[in-house]
């Protein structure tokens, strides 16, 4: 049976220029490079310049993905930007990116699922393609978390960075088997009862401010390992594949210990995990597409490889996807 698949035909990433090392943070905070590296695996992060907005990072990543795909911006039917740090409450960051890319047709909207935003956006995009509502979709994850951090709180401010990544999806007919190229399956979940473990203490309707990120780190860690292992098993079953078929795990980069624990639970060797957290820190919705862009462009991801993506974020929200490259 012929099935419409969403094939990844290009990837791009963009990082702000300014590198902030752990040592630089330790000049102002009661922390140290050794604590941050041991607990998280993070060595440095990028921070957006004054006047550099989420839409700027998103646009640059989008341009890079279009170029690597050889697709012209005006052939894009839909632009989805996953972000929790939009330039403005409205209009969406996606419409700004659309205008800056010179796109005058199709549609554009944002998705907000915090660190799982890219996986949620990928799943939505895949459904647009499967249902013949679009043929070419640019999916971007872009964040400036530096703008919602409490820089005096050492337990959260050392964990995050700014950046953007993008993938270009094109419709392609497959046979409906796990050997097809493109997105084979996605699974999404939310549990709003756990929203007080990771949240921002402000918002338009509540405080009329952007607020600052707050997190009960140890609890988030505990839930993340369990939920991510579950959803990885679920998505592999949906794709009719086993952990042994996975060539690369491209996880949301929140904590190196979470990455390692999830890989161990599905018995995947650590050499098969794409790791960027040491240089990017946690860039929320941008972390997976940034890692995909890095691994695709340096030749690690090759045609036919099975790529597993997974993420969890505030809400809680979590999800996973399986892509045959
Ligand atoms: N430097 C030095 N000491 C610190 C720092 C720091 N930057 N931060 C916290 N500490 C101290 C704490 O105060 C505490 O001290 P105490 O024992 O005297 O009270 C001690 O270190 C241990 O603190 P814990 O919070 O228990 O440390 P833990 O080992 O759990 O590591 C961490 C903390 C890194 C936050 C970890 O819990 C974690 O990674 N959790 C998951 C985070 C995550 O995944 N977040 C992203 C989710 S996605 C999203 O949507 C944003």
Surface-to-core class of residue 324, CB atoms within 10 Å of its CB (0-12 exposed, 13-18 middle, 19+ buried): buried
Active site residue 11: no
> Is the pLDDT at 266 greater than 90, yes or no?
no
> Is the pLDDT at 57 greater than 90, yes or no?
yes
pLDDT in tens, 290-324: 999 999 999 999 999 999 999 999 999 999 999 99
Ligand 1: nearest atom to the Cα of 32: 1
Active site residue 252: yes
Sign of CA dihedral 283, 6, 113, 48: positive
pLDDT in tens, 220-243: 999 999 999 999 999 999 999 999
How far apart, in whole angstroms, are the C-alpha atoms of residue 49 and residue 33?
23
Structural tokens at position 84: 């929790």
How far apart, in whole angstroms, are the C-alpha atoms of residue 157 and residue 324?
36
- Distances in Å between the Cα of 122 and the Cα atoms of 9, 21, 139, 258, 298 are 14, 31, 7, 22, 22
Task: State whether CATH 3.40.47.10 applies to domain 182-324.
Answer: yes
Active site residue 22: no
| C-alpha 157 – ligand 1 centre gap (Å) | 10
> Is the pLDDT at 129 greater than 80, yes or no?
yes
Exposure pattern of 27-41 as b/e (b: 16+ CB <10 Å)?
eebebebeebeebbb
pLDDT in tens, 21-54: 999 999 999 999 999 999 999 999 999 999 999 9
Which of 255, 259, 284, 288 to probe ligand 1 with, by most ligand atoms within 8 A of CB?
Answer: 255
Please report the pLDDT score of residue 265 as a whole number: 87
| C-alpha 218 – ligand 1 centre gap (Å) | 6
Sign of CA dihedral 152, 288, 194, 40: negative
Structural tokens at position 229: 């292992």
Q: Which of 22, 187, 212, 252 is catalytic?
A: 252
Q: Which of 11, 187, 212, 282 is catalytic?
A: 282
Structural tokens at position 242: 């086993």
β-strands 182-190, 3-14 pairing: unpaired
Coil/strand/helix, residue 21: strand
Which is nearest to 200 in space by CA: 211, 191, 190?
211
CATH topology of domain 3-174: Peroxisomal Thiolase; Chain A, domain 1 (3.40.47)
The percent of residues in the chain predicted with pLDDT above 90, rounded, is 98
Nearest residue (by CA) to ligand 1, atom 14, is 155
Judge if the upstream peptide bond of residue 52 is cis by omega within 30 degrees of 0. Answer: no
> Is the pLDDT at 247 greater than 90, yes or no?
yes
How far apart, in whole angstroms, are the C-alpha atoms of residue 172 and residue 184?
12
What DSSP designation does 282 have? B
How high does pLDDT run on average in the chain?
A: 97
Please report the pLDDT score of residue 1 as a whole number: 75
Please report the pLDDT score of residue 286 as a whole number: 98
Ligand 1: nearest atom to the Cα of 115: 50
As annotated, the residues of the chain forming the CATH 3.40.47.10 domain(s) are: 3-174, 182-324
What DSSP designation does 62 have? H
pTM of the model: 0.97
DSSP 158-199: TSB-EEEEEEEEEEEEE-SSTTSSEEEEEEEEE-GGGGGGEE
Structural tokens at position 132: 């013949």
Q: What pLDDT band is residue 161 in, cutting at 50, 70 and 90?
A: very high
């Amino acid at each position: 049976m012929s099935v419409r698949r969403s094939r990844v035909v290009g990837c791009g990433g963009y990082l702000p220029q300014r590198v902030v090392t752990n040592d630089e943070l330790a000049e102002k905070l009661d922390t140290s490079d050794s604590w941050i590296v041991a607990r998280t695996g993070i060595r440095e992060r990028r921070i957006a310049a004054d006047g550099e907005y989420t839409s700027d990072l998103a646009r640059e990543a989008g341009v890079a993905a279009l170029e690597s795909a050889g697709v012209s911006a005006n052939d894009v039917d839909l632009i989805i930007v996953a972000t929790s740090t939009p330039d403005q409450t409205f209009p969406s960051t996606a419409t700004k990116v659309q205008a800056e890319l010179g796109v005058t047709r199709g549609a554009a909207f944002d998705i907000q699922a915090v660190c799982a935003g890219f996986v949620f956006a990928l799943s939505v995009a895949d459904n647009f393609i499967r249902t013949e509502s679009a043929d070419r979709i640019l999916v971007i994850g872009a964040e400036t978390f530096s703008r919602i951090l409490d820089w005096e709180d050492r337990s959260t401010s050392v964990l995050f960075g700014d950046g953007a990544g993008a993938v270009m999806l094109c419709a392609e007919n497959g046979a409906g088997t796990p050997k097809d190229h493109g997105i084979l399956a996605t699974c999404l979940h939310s549990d709003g009862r756990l929203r007080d473990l990771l949240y921002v203490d402000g918002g338009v309707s509540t405080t009329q401010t952007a607020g600052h990120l707050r997190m009960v780190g140890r609890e988030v860690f505990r839930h993340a390992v369990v939920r991510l292992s579950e959803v990885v098993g679920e998505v592999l079953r949906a794709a009719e594949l086993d952990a042994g078929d996975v060539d690369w795990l491209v996880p949301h980069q929140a904590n190196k210990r979470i990455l390692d624990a999830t890989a161990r639970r599905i018995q995947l060797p650590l050499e098969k995990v794409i790791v960027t957290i040491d240089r990017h820190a946690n860039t929320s919705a941008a972390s997976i597409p940034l890692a995909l862009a890095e691994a695709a462009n340096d030749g690690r991801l090759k045609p036919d490889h099975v790529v597993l993506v997974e993420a969890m974020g505030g809400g809680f929200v979590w999800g996973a996807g399986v892509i045959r490259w």
